[in-house]
Amino acid sequence: MSADGAALGARLRERDLGAAPAALNLIESTAPGDREQAAALLRELSPAVLGGEAPAHVIGVTGPPGAGKSTLLSALLHAWRARGRTVAMLAVDPSSRRSGGSLLGDRARIDFDPADSGVLIRSTAAGERLGGLARATRAAAGALAGAFDVVVIETVGVGQAETEVAEVADTVAVVVQPGGGDVLQFLKAGIMEIPDVLVVTKADLGQIALRTRRDLSAALRSLGSSATQVLAVSSLPPASGVDELVDALEAHRAELDVAERRLAARRSAALTDFTIEHGEQGLRAIGGRAAAQATLGAADPGLDLAALVAMLERSMS
Amino acid sequence: MSGDHSPRLPERDRPWMMRTYAGHSTAKASNELYRRNLEKGQTGLSVAFDLPTQTGYDPDDELARGEVGKVGVPISHRGDMAALMHGIPLDEMNTSMTINATAAWLLALYIVAAEEQGVAEEQLQGTTQNDIIKEFLARGTYAFPPAPSMRLIADMIAYTVEHVPKWNPINICSYHLQEAGATPVQEIAYAMSNAIAVLDATRERLGERGREVMEQVFGRISFFVNAGVRFVEEHAKLRAMSILWEELGRERYDVQDARHLRFRYGVQVNSLGLTEAQPENNVQRIVLEALAVTLGRDARARAIQLPAWNEALGLPRPWDQQWSLRIQQVLAYETDILEYPDIFEGSKVMEGLVSELLDGARAEMAVVAEHGGAVEAVSYMKGALVDSHRERIRRIESGEQVVVGQNRFGESEDSPLTADAEGGILVVDPKLEAEQVEAVRSWRAERDQSAVDEALAALAAAARDADGAENLMIPTIAAARAGATTGEWSMTLREVFGSYRAPTGVGDAAAVAPDGELSELRAEVSRLQEKLGRRPKILVGKPGLDGHSNGAEQIAVRARDSGMDVVYEGIRLTPAQIAASALQEGVHVIGLSILSGSHRELIPAVIDALRDAGVTAPVVVGGIIPEQDVAPLREAGVAAVYTPKDFDITRIMRDIVELVGAGAGESSVVVGSAANGSA
Ligand code: B12
Ligand SMILES: Nc1nc2c(ncn2[C@@H]2O[C@H](COP(=O)(O)OP(=O)(O)O)[C@@H](O)[C@H]2O)c(=O)[nH]1
Ligand SMILES: [Mg+2]
């Protein structure tokens, strides 16, 4: 039997964090009954019902494997909790095998107090994703944003991942480790969109970290984008640069027109989801990408993602 | 035959040092045990500490629950150390202490206990294990992050070279690596790389002085190795290690004196291969393994301790340990092995084996060096060990590697050896924990508190000093004298150094090639996924201070290879942490692994914590669980219990998938309702 989605959604809306694990079980499920309930849950947290955008700061943290993302999240978690923020973390783990199973290793890096009910850490396997960020992860972030102060999504990748995570996050932080040349090259070559914040981890390694930071700043300047902050952080004790990073993330959010960014993100995600579901053929059936964008652009800004996809589907017939 | 050509030595060699790894319950009880062992002809002491002492917690710490006095002796302060060594003349005794993260502290307590006996520190002889890299890789009793841990080691070496010259400040261990699944090549390569990291750190720490004393430092480094049942190859391994060691001394550290270049090692023979099934067969295995380290004179052990026949059942009783001591005595005093020069000299086979191992080890050492040395390569080496162990288990499951009595020749008569009520093992009285809690509290109440506060403040200041101007042994010995406790010493340093979780290595293990059985299971997991709406998700948890990770790692890797999503966070978690993870991750089943003997306290504690969190997913348990404890665990709500005789892990997985399937349809999180427990 499926859990009651509407009830869970209402609890999250009331910022009852205890409802989060059960809500995630529902959102991740592909069982038909669960999907219906999950839709009901998400409706309870749609901008229309909330009377505006969900209050959380949704942050995407992405970068190559081993860059130090999870360890950084551990340090950030403590900084946010010290400022009284409730925090949900969604770790999308790249490990996945032919067997379909996966070893979800990020959680082991994140040090948390089990008695602290203001924290939730959830791991999922990237293996389930079809094209974009796992459908469930996007939905999960959206739902948790109604209940927590900060929602973080950790994903792996360079060049593509930031774009995907931008479909859900208000702020995208790209994490690079010292000497990490990929990100620099991708930035220079324009393969990668310019992130909102760039973080160089493992600052304790010294010179090499400083050099990486300098190179990234120079690259950004030459791209005419000196607004993006580049920070060097050490996540291992004694940590350094973490508070500065928290400030930088907040500064980005403060500058942002959240409603506009979220709306654009929802519309872009709706198109992604529709295309995954119905293929290029489906896209042609609704008159192509531009027509779809126009349809979405005219939609009620209060609609949630599912409602936007449904709208596109209706225009197929 | 003329004297010159006699195949015999002019004089029979003296036997190696014989030890028994022992200690449990209390300092007083362990002291009595040691004195009896010495009366029986044992020639040195080998102290086993309990897990709280090894990880730096006092008996009254929340994390010590269920572990006090279990697998070793609890030593909280100089009073405990004095009781442990009572009536044992420390100027004559050679004491080996299996102590690592808290080695500096236990050495300080030993120095103070000697002082109280009127024995000066320069007279002391013995060994502190003090090898932290292998704790990160295999043994799990670490306390501080890598960098400050290496500083503590370097400080201890620097101090002992100067003030306790007959002490072996560190024992580089390859023993535990083999126990964690290492191949002979990995065992050699990782131990040597580890030694390099320690020597380099010490040289740097000694600065100017380093150039003068490096020769002595090198000469004080000894090894603690393993020997498995493939005893010919294992002997070759020891010969290869001594060649590499000498080479390293000459080339990297410019050591000239032949005495200092000698590869000195002690041994505990392989225990990983000792079985729960037909445990009497372990005696043969132990004897053969002992041959690996005694047969060839050129690579013979300095000190030996042997496990007991009932190794896989639980803790050995004094009688079981006596049997193992007698094995050594028969070997040394009845056989003729000590009458000859090296019997493998000139053997083509031995030479060939040695050069094969040397090639392999050099190549693997180069990989570690590429990672930036042993400290930086911990994560790489850990992954490699988990993968080797996965392969070892695969060979046993498939029958490629024969284990007599386990995967072959399984039929057996009933054993009279395990017929007693306790099943042939030592059971520590659980009431002792409460007594130790009381004892440490009254110790704290009766000492000069301001002296302790001052000493700990001085320790913190020395630790905080980034240049490390003062050797940490100095304030450590002062704190021991003042009456500080093990927990206080380590908490003081934890506050400065921070804490650390070692890598788990599981992410890097290769996927097993699916055989028929595994493919079938994957299909079953897919069907279950349909039914659940989500991929079956398992949390593998290790509650308590137990560092035995092999079982949990292999279960985690196989669960992945069966198609499940697996959350594994490594060792040393509290029941509350496990429950929080289970809840947040929305797992369908929880698998707990405990080998330290604290399952009677910790499993019910985890189940209570899960219930409080509202998690209803079933719980299964694996590890060293004596037969008589299975029923109480099931009553507490455990769905199934697995022990080493269940060596077919795919079969365990099938049970787990079935268990999850039986509960499918129910949601795994029900807020506020009681767990349904066993299925
Ligand atoms: C290997 C080993 C070690 C290695 C561990 C390496 C590692 N990283 O795991 C090393 C050398 C480090 C070690 C150290 C110690 N050891 Co030890 N060790 C063993 C040994 C020989 C084998 C255990 C093993 O790994 N087996 C292989 C794995 C794959 O098997 P397994 O864990 O049993 O798992 C199987 C089942 O039990 C089950 N299972 C296990 N977990 C789970 C979980 C789930 C979810 C499921 C479904 C099934 C399952 O399935 C597995 C497949 O068959 C045992 C004795 C023995 N022969 O069993 C002693 C033993 C466990 N050790 C013991 C002791 C005392 C210690 C020390 C505490 C000694 C000391 N005083 O310092 C230290 C400290 C370790 C620590 N930090 O806690 C005792 C425990 C006594 C007790 N329970 O009363 C034992 C029983 C030996 C003895 N008789 O004294 N040890
Ligand atoms: N020296 C140093 N190492 C770090 C730091 N942060 C992470 N690491 C190490 O980098 C490795 C990868 O970290 P992890 O957080 O798992 O990276 P992720 O894959 O990006 O999530 C681990 O061994 C960490 O201990 C740091 O600030 N300094
Ligand atoms: Mg990560």
Please give the Cα distance from B348 to A75 (Å, whole number). 58
Please give the Cα distance from B374 to B421 (Å, whole number). 47
Each domain of chain B, given as residue ranges in start order, spans: 17-411, 513-662
Contact B595 CB / ligand 1 (< 6 Å): yes
pLDDT averaged over every residue in chain B: 94
pLDDT 10s digits, A100-112 = 899 998 999 999 9
Residues 6+ apart with CB under 8 A from A103: A93, A95, B506, B507, B556, B557, B560, B566, B568
Side-chain-side CA neighbours of residue B112 (13 Å):
26
Touching check for A240 and chain B: CB below 8 Å?
no
The mean pLDDT of A53-67, rounded to a whole number, is 94
Please give the Cα distance from A92 to A133 (Å, whole number). 9
Please give the Cα distance from A115 to B577 (Å, whole number). 8
pLDDT 10s digits, B358-399 = 999 999 999 999 999 999 999 999 999 999 999 999 999 999
The predicted pLDDT at position B102 comes to 98
- DSSP-assigned beta bridge partners for residue A60: A153, A172
Chain B residue with CA closest to A205: the answer is B376
Q: How far is the CA of B647 from the centre of ligand 1 (A)?
A: 13
pLDDT averaged over every residue in chain A: 90
**pTM for this entry:** 0.95
> How many Cβ atoms sit within 10 Å of the Cβ of residue A72?
28
The predicted pLDDT at position A194 comes to 81
Q: B525–A100: do the CB atoms touch at under 8 Å? A: yes
- Which band of pLDDT confidence, cut at 50, 70 and 90, is reported for residue A135? confident
Side-chain-side CA neighbours of residue B374 (13 Å):
26
Determine contact, residues B276/B313, Cβ cutoff 8 Å: yes
Residues 6+ apart with CB under 8 A from B69: B24, B25, B26, B50, B428, B432, B433, B436
Please give the Cα distance from A131 to A161 (Å, whole number). 11
pLDDT 10s digits, B604-616 = 999 999 999 999 9
State the ligand closest to the CA atom of A66: 2
Q: How far is the CA of A66 from the centre of ligand 2 (A)?
A: 6
The partner residue sitting opposite B585, judged by closest CB among A122, A236, A237, is: A122
State the ligand closest to the CA atom of B317: 1
> How many Cβ atoms sit within 10 Å of the Cβ of residue A189?
9
Touching check for B210 and chain A: CB below 8 Å?
no
Please give the Cα distance from A284 to A307 (Å, whole number). 20
- Architecture of A1-51 per CATH? Up-down Bundle (1.20)
Task: Supply B617's token pair.
Answer: 């997913």
- Name the closest-CA residue to atom 53, ligand 1: B647
The CATH superfamily label for domain B513-662 reads Cobalamin-binding domain (3.40.50.280)
Task: Quote ipTM for the complex.
Answer: 0.94
Q: A25–B579: do the CB atoms touch at under 8 Å? A: no
The mean pLDDT of A197-207, rounded to a whole number, is 93
Please give the Cα distance from B547 to A50 (Å, whole number). 48
Residues 6+ apart with CB under 8 A from B582: B539, B541, B590, B610, B613, B615, B617
Q: How far is the CA of B222 from the centre of ligand 2 (A)?
A: 33
Secondary structure string (H, E, C) spanning B343-390: CCCCCHHHHHHHHHHHHHHHHHHHHHHHCCCCCCCHHHHHHHHHHHHH
Enumerate the H helices of chain A as residue ranges: 5-13, 20-28, 32-44, 47-50, 69-82, 135-144, 161-166, 181-188, 207-222, 242-255, 258-285, 288-297, 305-314
The predicted pLDDT at position A134 comes to 67
- Name the closest-CA residue to atom 26, ligand 1: B272
Residues of B in contact with A98 (CB under 8 A): 511
pLDDT 10s digits, A260-270 = 999 999 998 89
Probe target for ligand 2 pocket from A69, A201, A205, A212, with the most ligand atoms within 8 Å of CB:
A201
Contact A177 CB / ligand 2 (< 6 Å): no
Contact B315 CB / ligand 1 (< 6 Å): yes
Contact B312 CB / ligand 1 (< 6 Å): yes
Q: How far is the CA of B669 from the centre of ligand 3 (A)?
A: 26
What is the position in ligand 2's atom list of the atom closest to the CA of A154? 21
Q: Which of B513, B512, B520 is nearest to B657 (CA)?
A: B520
- Which band of pLDDT confidence, cut at 50, 70 and 90, is reported for residue A304? confident
Name the region of B234 (left: φ>0; alpha: ψ -120 to 50; beta: rest).
Answer: alpha
Q: How far is the CA of A96 from the centre of ligand 3 (A)?
A: 14
Number of H helices, E strands in chain A: 13, 8
The predicted pLDDT at position A190 comes to 76
Minimal C-alpha gap between B564 and chain A (Å): 4
Per the model's pLDDT, the better-predicted residue between B508 and A150 turns out to be: A150
The partner residue sitting opposite A237, judged by closest CB among B498, B584, B665, is: B498
The catalytic residues of B are: 21, 175-176, 542, 546, 548
The partner residue sitting opposite A99, judged by closest CB among B556, B562, B586, is: B562
Contact B574 CB / ligand 2 (< 6 Å): no
Determine contact, residues B138/B180, Cβ cutoff 8 Å: yes
Please give the Cα distance from A25 to A139 (Å, whole number). 12
Chain B residue with CA closest to A1: the answer is B665
Chain A residue with CA closest to B613: the answer is A18
The predicted pLDDT at position A128 comes to 54
- SS3 of residue B339 by DSSP: helix
The predicted pLDDT at position B430 comes to 86
State the ligand closest to the CA atom of A235: 2
Side-chain-side CA neighbours of residue A126 (13 Å):
20
Contact B590 CB / ligand 1 (< 6 Å): no
Q: Determine the CATH number of domain B17-411.
A: 3.20.20.240
Q: B172: part of which helix (H) or strand (E)? A: strand B171-173
CATH class of A54-255: alpha beta
The mean pLDDT of A139-144, rounded to a whole number, is 95
The predicted pLDDT at position B671 comes to 35
Please give the Cα distance from B455 to A150 (Å, whole number). 43
The predicted pLDDT at position B308 comes to 96
The mean pLDDT of A283-291, rounded to a whole number, is 91
Determine contact, residues A183/A158, Cβ cutoff 8 Å: yes
The predicted pLDDT at position B320 comes to 95
Per the model's pLDDT, the better-predicted residue between A2 and B675 turns out to be: A2
Please give the Cα distance from B178 to B194 (Å, whole number). 15
Q: How far is the CA of A191 from the centre of ligand 3 (A)?
A: 23
The predicted pLDDT at position A163 comes to 75
Q: A21–B562: do the CB atoms touch at under 8 Å? A: no
Residues 6+ apart with CB under 8 A from B624: B312, B313, B314, B594, B595, B596, B597, B643, B644
- Which band of pLDDT confidence, cut at 50, 70 and 90, is reported for residue A129? low
Q: Which of B160, B161, B188 is nearest to B174 (CA)?
A: B188
Contact B139 CB / ligand 1 (< 6 Å): yes
pLDDT 10s digits, B275-317 = 999 999 999 999 999 999 999 999 999 999 999 999 999 999 9
Q: A97–B566: do the CB atoms touch at under 8 Å? A: no
Q: DSSP letter string over B70-117?
A: SSSB---SHHHHHHHTTTS-TTT-EEEEE--TTHHHHHHHHHHHHHHH
What is the position in ligand 1's atom list of the atom closest to the CA of B271? 21
Minimal C-alpha gap between A206 and chain B (Å): 15
- DSSP-assigned beta bridge partners for residue A175: A199
Contact B613 CB / ligand 1 (< 6 Å): no
Touching check for B533 and chain A: CB below 8 Å?
yes
- Which residues of chain B, if any, have pLDDT below 70? 1-4, 665-679
